[in-house]
Structure 1
């Protein structure tokens, strides 16, 4: 009994001894990133397709040993990041052995004092100051140089036993004679000078990334690594490229963070969703310049870096024949949760039910049927609404989102107005959409209104072959209208993926 008590007291007295022979788990170090929107855009969720390199650098590191925390904030400069208390919130959390990756400069070039952002810093790394009455905060402020603010972050981090690393700002997607200008005479230079003076690691992210982008050429970069609409913020692939540059340069240094770099990183890019187009020749790729469906030019109005546009429309098909021929089953087998499916029929559903092409469907949206004998086969034909409802239900069952569009108008002008079929296929499409509680787009009326604004003479070239099928120019006109409707519709939920 005395021996047992002695053992218990020994375990309690010497806490460094583990009586169960279990080793305490090693505490993870933290890698903090501080910077602007090129490090973390928005909430770091890829809003608008824009990402910062801080959202992907964790994929290059052994996250069983390190934790990456992205504390960058869009719109900040080295000055406002600190004035807003953002650096203080990181500084207080730093432990010995943590790392701080620092990248500022894009916003430091703005005005020192104005009523919009007042975020600029004095150029260079000197000790000169400028006293202002901040027009935004209404407070008296002493503004320092870019280098002064960067140095403060560095010295604060060192005081906590953390290891700061400075990056030059990423390059913008701007080109001059086939090359991307470097910032090695401005913020890239000043960032390097502070790193040298403080004896810490400097990574020339600007030059590394620009050099890699130049190998792709401007056309290879725009639309893959950067969007055409934004020369500063990277798409997902651009952010990954920036992160890979940091890691690549880090390996050439003696900085201990390189010990946590994984040998063969598995890079996971944001998953794309699919946008399926299901319909007839007015949507399809018919291989004919004089009969081009609007689905052909439509992808140029869609963010194809985040969305795959898959055109499954087929010329000459109605809801009935698209179903009967197995085209619908083949398409729906590709649907995945989160996909979007556009459904547009009507032109061919008005055909003969029991003759020739056997593609007509019964009028309306009811449950009535008609038995048809064709080619020694018996077929039970349903209503237009029945087939469309089945497509919607099948789409929902796959976890995809159906969107119903009315058929496009023909180039027919009874009584000087573009033909509408508001009492038939447009109406029935709308009724089915409302019944199934899915979005409905009255494309027929939207196009007809625009045709009437142009006038009959200007619309005529849109239809080089007949009164139903548009040529390339007319198809693009329709695609733009679809894009505009999607861009302006918050309930449909696709506006963030549409360019217009």
Structure 2
């Protein structure tokens, strides 16, 4: 039986649900449900290595759209792999093709009677001159433009994650990432890191005051870290 709300996730490796063999690597999509009431069901279609473009060209967006029903939600976090200029099959230009592909998600969801929500790319651990750095400024700006042009709700996960890292300081923030284990990966999250990013996404939903905001159980003052 369908629950009160069903929320679909479209995204990359920072969002996807990992298998037991991949522990401790995790994506925030694995933890997002814990910050919502039980009447909300999450369906995570995020998968590693996909950009807004390849998620479409591989037929993954169509597969999600075919499942959407009226009043469902589609949360969309794309951008990391769109910036991969050395991989032309993934790459999109921030202010042209990236925006065009995002609009495919938006229009597809709306045509099914569902509600799209854009989420800017989550921050990596890039620390320079005492500051955590946004590695995808053009894509964040382009997504913000799309949100305004299409009148779509936007969760600015880039800025909220940068603020969160800053509140922790570099040493603690580093523990959120797989690099704290393997020494190299400062993009993907440990289970603890994915959990914290999920909390930030939930808080972002709560701040939207949208049709699903009332289901959020996350509190800004509570950090399970």
Q: Do the two structures share a fold, i.e. TM-score over 0.5?
A: yes
How far is the alpha carbon of 1:215 from its aligned partner?
1.6
Matched, 1:236 2:211: no
Question: Moved runs in structure 1, 4+ residues, more than 3 A?
Answer: 25-28, 43-46, 111-114
> SS state of the match for residue 26, structure 2?
coil
Q: 1:36 aligns with which of 9, 12, 16?
A: 12
Equivalenced residues, count:
218
Matched, 1:123 2:121: no
Q: 1:72 aligns with which of 34, 37, 46?
A: 46
Task: Report the counterpart of residue 194 of structure 1 in structure 2.
Answer: 146
How far is the alpha carbon of 1:249 from its aligned partner?
2.2
> SS state of the match for residue 230, structure 1?
coil
Task: Report the counterpart of residue 33 of structure 2 in structure 1.
Answer: 58
Q: Is the 8 A contact 2:205 2:216 kept in 1?
A: no
> SS state of the match for residue 40, structure 1?
coil
Matched, 1:256 2:208: no
Q: Is the 8 A contact 1:110 1:119 kept in 2?
A: yes
Distance 1:230 1:198, change over 3 A: same
Distance 1:263 1:79, change over 3 A: closer
Distance 2:10 2:210 in 1: 18
> SS state of the match for residue 69, structure 1?
strand
Distance 1:26 1:74 in 2: 28
Task: Report the counterpart of residue 24 of structure 2 in structure 1.
Answer: 49
Q: TM-score, normalised by structure 1?
A: 0.41
| Superposed CA RMSD | 2.3
Distance 2:200 2:217 in 1: 14
Distance 1:263 1:202 in 2: 18
After superposition, give the CA deviation of every residue in 1:433-467 in whole Å (9 maximum; x if it has no partner). Answer: xxxxxxxxxxxxxxxxxxxxxxxxxxxxxxxxxxx
How far is the alpha carbon of 1:113 from its aligned partner?
6.0
Distance 2:166 2:113 in 1: 39
How far is the alpha carbon of 1:208 from its aligned partner?
0.4
After superposition, give the CA deviation of every residue in 1:242-299 in whole Å (9 maximum; x if it has no partner). Answer: 111112222222311112112679x9x9xxxxxxxxxxxxxxxxxxxxxxxxxxxxxx
Which runs of 5 or more residues in structure 1 are unaligned? 1-24, 127-144, 270-500
Task: Report the counterpart of residue 212 of structure 1 in structure 2.
Answer: 164
- Please list, as runs of the form range in 1=range in 2, the aligned pairs for 1:93-112 lying within 5 A after superposition: 93-111=67-85
Distance 2:2 2:61 in 1: 27
How far is the alpha carbon of 1:49 from its aligned partner?
1.7
Larger relative contact order (Cα-Cα within 8 Å, sequence gap ≥ 6) = 2
Distance 1:52 1:113, change over 3 A: closer
Distance 1:37 1:248 in 2: 21
Task: Report the counterpart of residue 124 of structure 2 in structure 1.
Answer: 172
Q: Is the 8 A contact 2:121 2:136 kept in 1?
A: no
Distance 2:201 2:27 in 1: 13
Distance 1:252 1:221, change over 3 A: same
Distance 2:19 2:162 in 1: 23
Distance 1:151 1:260 in 2: 27
After superposition, give the CA deviation of every residue in 1:172-216 in whole Å (9 maximum; x if it has no partner). Answer: 111011211125731111111111111111011011011111122
